[in-house]
């Protein structure tokens, strides 16, 4: 029988700092057993995030230039290198208790499966590439980046970023995922038509529920409220 889980899905972009802070607070609550497993699905205003393996020279634009374009740069506590989040990209932050003996590799494969299933539902063939790194690809171009952290080696933080109708020119500002010889793409480019976040979100919700064997209910107002308020003023 599927486990009960909460779903948060603000409909407007949420500033990165707001979401990052809320995600960490929810993970602490999940670790304490105060809340069930939770999935946050949202968009961000433009932001470059740098994981623990990111090198400074992988940021190709000066931070002042990033700011002039309306973006920000943040160093964060996930694995991986630089990536971009922005409008037109569906970002998923699963907050899951993987148990006392988690298999991080299996968890990453399951996240890949979710993105692959969403692509298949759109008629877009995408898949993993074990020879390169975690994520979902079309040939040499990545369509979904994945970077995570386990809180106390148990509860998941951060997650995946699936390019829907993202402005891919933002990726010119970084060496995406630390791979200078690989590119990025979007579901829209692969489908040959506009594929927006609103179309992809329910496909990801369904695929995630099936892959992780959960049944979603909307998160209560006291949890969802900060995301909605931040989106309203973003």
Torsion 72-73-77-79 (CA) sign: positive
Structure tokens at 220: 């209560």
Among residues 143, 177, 204, 223, the one annotated as catalytic is 177
pTM: 0.95
For residue 66, CA distances in Å to 2, 79, 142, 146, 172 come to: 43, 22, 22, 23, 11
For residue 169, how many other CB atoms are within 10 A of its CB? 8
User: Catalytic: 177?
Assistant: yes
CATH number of the domain encompassing residue 49: 3.30.930.10
The predicted-structure confidence for 186-226, as pLDDT tens digits, reads as follows 999 999 999 999 999 999 999 999 999 999 999 999 998 87
Range of the domain at 211: 3-233
The predicted-structure confidence for 51-92, as pLDDT tens digits, reads as follows 888 888 899 999 999 999 999 999 999 988 899 999 999 999
CB 118 within 8 A of CB 185: no
Q: How many domains does the chain have?
A: 1
């Amino acid at each position: 029988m599927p486990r009960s889980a909460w779903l948060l899905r603000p409909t407007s972009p949420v500033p990165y700092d707001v979401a990052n802070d809320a995600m960490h607070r929810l993970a602490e609550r999940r670790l304490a057993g105060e809340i069930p497993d939770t999935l946050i699905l949202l968009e961000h205003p433009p932001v470059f995030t740098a994981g623990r393996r990111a090198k400074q020279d992988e940021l190709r634009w000066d931070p002042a230039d990033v700011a002039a374009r309306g973006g920000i740069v943040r160093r964060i506590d996930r694995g991986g290198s630089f990536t971009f989040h922005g409008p037109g990209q569906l970002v998923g932050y699963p907050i899951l208790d993987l148990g006392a003996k988690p298999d991080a590799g299996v968890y990453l494969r399951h996240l890949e499966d979710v993105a692959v299933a969403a692509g298949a539902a759109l008629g877009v063939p995408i898949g993993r590439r074990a020879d390169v790194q975690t994520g979902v690809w079309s040939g040499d171009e990545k369509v979904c980046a994945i970077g995570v952290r386990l809180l106390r080696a148990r509860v998941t933080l951060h997650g995946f970023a699936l390019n829907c109708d993202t402005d891919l020119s933002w990726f010119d500002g970084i060496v995406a995922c630390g791979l200078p010889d690989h590119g990025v793409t979007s579901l829209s480019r692969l489908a040959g038509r506009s594929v927006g976040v609103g179309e992809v979100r329910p496909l990801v919700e369904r695929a995630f529920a099936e892959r992780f064997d959960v049944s979603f209910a909307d998160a209560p107002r006291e949890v969802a409220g900060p995301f909605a308020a931040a989106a309203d003023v973003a």
